[in-house]
Amino acid sequence: MAEGEKLEAAAPEGAERLKAEKAAQKVHRAKVRRLFWMTQARVWHWITGAATLVGMLLFAVTGITLNHAGQIEGQPVVVERTAVMPAELLVHLSDAPPEGETAILPKPVADWLEKEVGAPVSRRTGEWSEAEVYVGMPKPGGDAWLSVDRETGDVIFENTDRGPISWLNDLHKGRNTGPVWFWFLDIFSVAAILFCITGLVLLWMHAPRRAPTWFIVGAGLVVPALIAVFLVHV
């Protein structure tokens, strides 16, 4: 009977021990998962932070300059150059596309224009009419255009530069920046989104030890929302 009583007493103890071991294993697995995701969040947070640091500073600064564009107006610098195209080159403009259509300037003409007046018209499309060929060359922080009289060969090239602040503002907006900058902005935006998401994950993991975390995050959402709804006038 004594041995039976010992076995009966040992059975609940073994069950309790097994239950405690399973609970400990579950807690351990949860800690491992938490450590894994925290490590991943930290790694991707610093990678995206390092990759977007300069860009975010640029966009933050140009956000201020754009917001105060009226107070930081640059003085445009306009440079105009004129020339007369030789007859042997002017003949290349005799074969025009149909009225109202566009076409790239012939290479000999484009090379001459770039050399004589500094117009970067290579591979650019011109608007052709009976009287002239017009090439618009919009760019960040300025503008430029070129006109060639198809009868007389008179060339006018005008280049407008609005200064470095205007140039940076146009980079911020992606205005007249070309396809490479267009794709850079998309890739940069994805990296910045990952930076914010991984930052949110780290906030969530550290929030239990930092009481004001969600109050500050909520204020970052509520304050601009209230301003946008009640204080922004159309």
pLDDT in tens, 20-63: 777 777 777 877 787 888 888 899 999 999 999 999 999 999 99
pLDDT in tens, 113-139: 999 999 999 888 999 988 899 999 999
Q: What are the b/e assignments for 27-52, b being 16+ CB within 10 Å?
A: eeeeeeeeeeeeeebeebbeebbebb
The better pLDDT of the pair 36, 160 is held by 160
Give the integer Cα–Cα distance in Å for 159 and 100: 25
Q: 155 and 147 in contact (C-beta within 8 Å)?
A: yes
Averaged pLDDT of the chain: 88
Q: What is the pTM of this model?
A: 0.78
pLDDT in tens, 87-122: 999 999 988 787 777 889 999 999 999 999 999 998
CA-CA distances (angstroms) from residue 36 to 33, 43, 147, 198, 199? 5, 11, 63, 13, 15
Name which of 4-18, 110-124, 186-200 the model is least confident about. 4-18
Inform me whether the pLDDT recorded for 7 exceeds 50.
Answer: no
Inform me whether the pLDDT recorded for 181 exceeds 50.
Answer: yes
Residues 6 or more apart in contact with residue 58 via CB below 8 angstroms: 168, 171, 172
CB atoms < 10 A from the CB of 20, how many? 10
Q: 155 and 84 in contact (C-beta within 8 Å)?
A: yes
